[in-house]
Amino acid sequence: MPEPIIETYELTKYYGNVKAVDHLNLTVYEGEIFGFLGPNGAGKTTTLLMLMGLTVPTSGTATVGGYDIIKESREVRRIAGMLPEGAGYYEDLTARQNLDYIGQLNDIPESEREKRIDELLEAVGLTKWANTKVEKFSRGMKQRLGIAEVLIKKPKIAFFDEPTIGLDPQGTKEVRDLMTQLNKEHGLTIFLSSHLLYEVQQTCHRVGIIRGGRLVAADTIENLSKNIAEKGRMVIEFKLTEIRSDLIRELEAINGVTHIKRGEDNRLYVYMESDRSREVSETITKHGSIILLMKPKEHSLEEIFLKYYEREA
Amino acid sequence: MAGAITVCRKELADHLGSKRYIVLFALILVLSTLSAYQGAEYIKDNPQAGFIAVFSGARFGFSFTSLMVFFGPIIGLSLGFDAINKERTSGSLSMLLSQPIYRDSVINGKFLAGTAALSLLTVTTIGIMSGVAMSILGFGPTLDDASRIILFTLLTILYLAFWLALGLLYSTVTKKTSTSILMSVATWLFFSIVIAIIAALVANLLVPITMPRDTSGGNIAKILRSPEFRELLRRRFSIQMNIQRVSPAYLYNEAGASILGISGGRLGFIGPGGGRPFKSLELIEGLTASWPQITAIAAGLVICFVASYVLFLRLEIRPGG
């Protein structure tokens, strides 16, 4: 059982009368990539700012790496790094100077700092631009510099807030690959806040869905998908060469099959209470039709997401 | 504290490399050297004036003090007005505050760096002025002169640091640098031009100068020499002076004159050469006389800095800046 590394207890933040985060209870385990999913304005960024000690919770508390986010926020910032949304850099300094400043603020001794800067510039592919002023950088390059700034302190936990927003597909892929690699090779726990479902599905082990400042679900995508499907139900999608009406009648007669839905292009969706895929395919073949495609229908993250939203609403 | 030193080092390097600072530094240096040259020439002709007259530049009434009265606000404000809000808009502030430092290190570091840059400017300028004057005159300041110069240097740094703190306050209360730069320029204009106009207006309202209808040549001269008229002028001057004392620049001018022991120090950039630079006050007397002004400037500095400190510590970093 992995150890919890981030735990929040009834974490709440009001901006005036507006509830940004509402009694949030959340656990993130060591070594995982946790996807924090929600639409714009759901409270994702506010949660991150509270965890890093940049803003103070109205009530509730949390621990990050065992440190209290209010009383020991400086310790939290020692072991955790954050790449905020719209992070900025010192434009008139070079990439190396920017990294060096952040390194100094983390009390990394000079010789060690230089070594780490070289390694990191290499890792994020900025070695060639090490001595170029950041004002000349593209968004993707700045984002990679930001990741390097997060990593220079060798954090146990990294918070990334919408890290691929505004990047082109190439840049997006590079950032995602980098996150996955860091997690795999260095065991870095990553807390990824995003509203991009595909991104979360691609990279995260577990997701938490936040809505109106409340956590509505937190689990692996598989489990969320299972929970969303009505109990014991499964759907299999078939594509056949031909569909005759008596085939449908015969399929419906199979014990355990609840109903059949016809789709475009000679497709059939067979809804079953228990797994009857063998009987179903035998019946189809018996009728002289050939199965071109057969696959269990999975819930896409989008469906899961929307389902959880509807359920709450 | 370690955080504050790191921030200070970085900010100081930024200042020293910034066009803004270099341009202002060069301007002050050139004008001051010129005024030192004038001062030295004056001392040559008036040997009783003493070395201190270098800083009064008596010949054209354009002295280091008057330079600082006029340019001081803009030098100090320009190093502070975008210290916080620039980083807020660019997003580097949230990156900076995600590091393991206390939040006050940021504002302390920035203030220290600004003060260091201002001190460098002041010390260099006064040093070069003294050097120029010494090479022209062939003699240096006496011990008394030297102590006055040191005290005057400290006063100038304090005065510039006040404007820096005000700029820092502006950068903390406003979100955009365009707003804080406007506030800075407005402040500068107010204290260097507007307040003198207001003071003159108020004086005119309270103590109007009434001229008799009969103004034949001889009469005017008589009136101007009459004790009543002199009393009138004195009252007007005292009203103007008291209003202008709202301005830290005016206070600085007064304190500077007292410390240097020069009477007839004047406000304003270039005026007719009316300064009569002779030592009128002993060092201790001068210091005592300037104490209220020094206290007022220091109090202003502390108020501005504490206000920006408190506001910065309470600043909410919100999503989207």
Domain count, chain B: 1
ipTM for this prediction: 0.85
Q: What is the dihedral of CA A235, A239, A242, A247, to 10 degrees?
A: -20
Fold of A4-226: Rossmann fold (3.40.50)
**Regarding beta strands A59-64 and A67-68, do their DSSP bridges make them parallel or antiparallel, or are they unpaired?**
antiparallel
Cite the residue boundaries of each domain of chain A with CATH code 3.40.50.300: 4-226
Mapped onto helix, strand or coil, the DSSP state of residue A274 is coil
The boundaries of the domain holding residue B117 are 2-314
pLDDT tens track for B33-64: 988 888 888 888 877 777 888 887 555 567 88
Which of A270-279, B15-24, B258-267 is the most confident on average? Answer: B15-24
Integer-rounded Cα radius of gyration of chain A: 25
Task: Evaluate whether residue B241 is within a structural domain.
Answer: yes
Closest CA to B163 of B300, B35, B271: B300
Q: Do B319 and A77 touch (CB under 8 A)?
A: no
Nearest CA in chain A to B96: A102
Q: Do A77 and B100 touch (CB under 8 A)?
A: yes
- How many other CB atoms sit within 10 Å of the CB of residue B217? 7
* Domain spanning A230-298: CATH 3.40.50.2000: no
Q: Where in chain A is the domain with CATH 3.30.70.100?
A: 230-298
The Cα of B87 is separated from the nearest Cα of chain A by a number of Å equal to: 8
pLDDT: which is higher, B141 or B163: B163
State which residue of chain A sits closest to B321, comparing Cα positions: A86
Q: Do A89 and B95 touch (CB under 8 A)?
A: yes
Alpha helices, DSSP H, located in B138-226? 143-173, 177-189, 195-206, 217-225
Of A55, A101, A104, the CB nearest to B317: A55
Which residues of A are less than 8 Å from B321 in CB distance?
A: 86
Q: For chain A, which ranges sit under pLDDT 70?
A: 1, 228-233, 298-299, 311-313
* Residue B271 to residue B281: CA distance in whole angstroms: 23
Lowest mean pLDDT among B110-124, B188-202, B279-293: B279-293
- Out of A237-246, B22-31, B110-119, least confident range: A237-246
Please give the pLDDT value at position B304.
97
Give the per-residue pLDDT at B65.
Answer: 87
| Chain A residue numbers touching B91 (CB-CB < 8 A) | 84, 86-88
Instruction: Say yes or no to pLDDT of B226 above 50.
Output: yes
Q: Per the CB < 8 Å rule, is A87 touching B92?
A: yes
Domain assignment present for B273: yes
pTM for the whole structure: 0.86
User: What's the pLDDT band for B214 if we cut at 50, 70, 90?
Assistant: low
Residue B27 has pLDDT above 70, yes or no: yes
Residue B321 lies inside a defined structural domain of this protein = no
Please state, in angstroms and rounded to a whole number, the distance separating the CA atoms of residues A134 and A86: 15
A138 reaches B (C-beta below 8 A): no
Chain A residue at shortest CA distance from B9 = A101
Residue B115 Cα, gap to closest chain A Cα (Å)? 21
pLDDT, one tens digit per residue, over A76-103 is 999 999 999 888 999 999 999 999 999 9
